[in-house]
Amino acid sequence: MTKVLVVDDEPQLLRTLRINLSARGYQVITARTGAAALRAAAAQRPDVVVLDISLPDMSGVEVLSALRGWMTAPVLVLSARTEASDKVEAFDAGADDYLTKPFDMAEFLARLRAAVRRAAAPAEPAEPIVETAAFTVDLWAKKVIKSGSEVHLTPTEWEILEMLVRNRGRLVGREALLNEIRGPFHQGAANYLRVYLAQLRHKLEDDPSHPAHLLTEAGMGYRFEQ
């Protein structure tokens, strides 16, 4: 039975989610404050966390950052905040998905199932080869092949591509990408990302002006799709 920790300070929403999740076979744990959420997570070890950003005692982002210090379970953020900056902050803190209130219950359940499936997916093989219609990435050999020839990438270009490919299908927030990359990115200059992504698209995409694999999520980050 999948164990879900639901963290929200709205009693009616907690009750609604408990009823809907329990009816579908989930084991549901609830918490109404950030402190209670951290205690419940440590004691119950949930398989997935549903987390509101606005909590009475601390920010949900603070809770998320604390959880990410030791827990790898997927976190689905629920929030009435719709600004891109709020979403970016949540993703950079380690959120796996973000759903704005009010939300459709069917969509919520679908996203929850998807998060659980991703978490349960088998680990990558020791020598993963990721193929797209335009190019092939060999994560073990650290090289890219396009049209039968190896593509020369700079160390920074490879680091960006590798992080995106290892998180394929998932949004990688700009700050998370900046923090992962060495060199000038330590200055937090997001313009570098745009420059390097443009270079990667020019080298790898069949149509760099209409990329199919190295995608930009406006105001949020980047995503690699096969």
- Can you give the CATH number for the domain in which 188 is found? 1.10.10.10
Residues 111 and 211 in one domain: no
Neighbours of 84 (CB within 10 A): 12
CATH of the domain at 51: 3.40.50.2300
Q: Find where tokens 């992080």 sit.
A: 163
The pLDDT of residue 116: 84
The pLDDT of residue 127: 52
The pLDDT of residue 171: 82
Residues 82 and 155 in one domain: no
Neighbours of 79 (CB within 10 A): 22
Residues 79 and 104 in one domain: yes
Residues 86 and 160 in one domain: no
Residues 61 and 156 in one domain: no
Residues 90 and 143 in one domain: no
**Dihedral angle over CA of 194, 181, 60, 5, nearest 10:** 110
Residue ending a domain, among 101, 120, 139, is: 120
Q: Express the helix, strand and coil content of the chain in percent, nearest 5 each.
A: 45, 20, 35
- Residue 152 C-beta-side C-alpha neighbours within 13 Å: 0
The pLDDT of residue 211: 93
Residue ending a domain, among 89, 120, 151, is: 120
Query: Is there a contact between 83 and 101 (Cβ–Cβ < 8 Å)?
Result: no
Q: What is the pTM of this model?
A: 0.58
Query: Is there a contact between 89 and 61 (Cβ–Cβ < 8 Å)?
Result: yes
Q: Find where tokens 């060495």 sit.
A: 182
Residues 9 and 112 in one domain: yes
How many domains does the structure of the chain reveal? 2
Burial environment of residue 9 by CB neighbours within 10 A (0 to 12, 13 to 18, 19 or more):
middle
The pLDDT of residue 147: 92
For residue 198, give its domain range. Answer: 129-224
The pLDDT of residue 108: 92
Residues of the chain with pLDDT under 50: 125-126, 183-186, 188
Residues 169 and 211 in one domain: yes
Residues 37 and 62 in one domain: yes
Residues 105 and 145 in one domain: no
